[in-house]
Amino acid sequence: MPANILLVEDEPAIQELIAANLTRAGHTVVRAADAETAQRIVRDALPDLVLLDWMLPGISGVEFARRLRAEERTRSIPLIMLTARSEEQDKVLGLEIGADDYITKPFSPRELVARIKAVLRRRAPQVTEDAVELGGLRLDPATHRVTAGNEALALGPTEFRLLHFLMTHPERVHSRAQLLDQVWGDHVFVEERTVDVHIRRLRCALEPGGHERLIQTVRGSGYRFSTDTQAVALAR
């Protein structure tokens, strides 16, 4: 599944090369040549992943990474550092400030694409094309199909994204605000009760096979996907 990637790189030739290869791999790339521009982009809409050069004019990549990790809204964005600094202490620093991976220049485009895929699979599985099977349901992002056994289920696009996110983060309770950010996007301003409407639609779509019980309401907190039948019984 294509990801929205923020590329923060001040060298035009390297920026162009990386952007071209990521676009060829199916991703959408937003570019910034400095941290100040990147901050404005992130303020408007959260990317699925940030590729961040260590050495930038003005605010350094390291400082920008620290700022991303310091704010609740941005601390969970997957982050890969790009740098010509190959010393062990530099790598340790990059990982300690919260980078999910550290790639030393020069690197091959294939390696970069593979590293991005690995980080997204680990940190943001809802933006990958990996099929997920849980609780008797199988969701395939590549074909946009949900099946229960051999039966195909009809879900609207929003219900599909909602189920995908919940299935890739099982047993975790997500508030309505968190679901709005992750499924609708944090730059889309809709009321929190919109989530309740789509949860009801999702449950209706899952009801024929009894799978609606997997979508739990946790009073005062939000919703979760759980295969724990006892917990489902207590939550409903």
Q: Model's pTM, two decimal places? A: 0.64
- Within the chain, all domains assigned CATH 3.40.50.2300 are found at 4-127
- Neighbour tally for 229: CB within 10 Å: 11
**pLDDT at res. 190:** 74
In the chain (236 residues long), the average pLDDT of successive 10-residue segments reads 88 94 93 96 89 92 92 88 76 79 88 90 77 92 90 92 90 87 74 90 91 92 83 46
Query: Do the Cβ atoms of 25 and 70 come closer than 8 Å?
Result: no
- CA 232 to each of CA 87, 128, 171: distance values in angstroms, whole numbers, following the listed order: 50, 28, 11
Q: Where in the chain are all domains bearing CATH 1.10.10.10?
A: 132-235
- Output the pLDDT for position 104: 87
Say what the pLDDT of residue 30 is. 96
The domain 4-127 having CATH identifier 3.20.20.140: the answer here is no
> According to the model, what pLDDT value does residue 235 have?
47
So what's the architecture of 132-235 in CATH?
A: Orthogonal Bundle (1.10)
User: Hey, CA dihedral for 193, 194, 195, 198, is it positive or negative?
Assistant: positive
CA separation for the pair 133, 230 (Å, rounded) = 20
Question: pLDDT value at position 120?
Answer: 86
Q: Which pLDDT does position 128 carry in this prediction? A: 75
For residues 164 and 132, the answer to whether their CB atoms sit within 8 Å is yes
C-alpha angle 4-106-57 in degrees, rounded to nearest 5: 65
Give the pLDDT of residue 232: 45
Cβ pair 30, 41 in contact under 8 A: yes
Residue in 41, 100, 49, 72 with CA at minimum distance from that of residue 178:
72
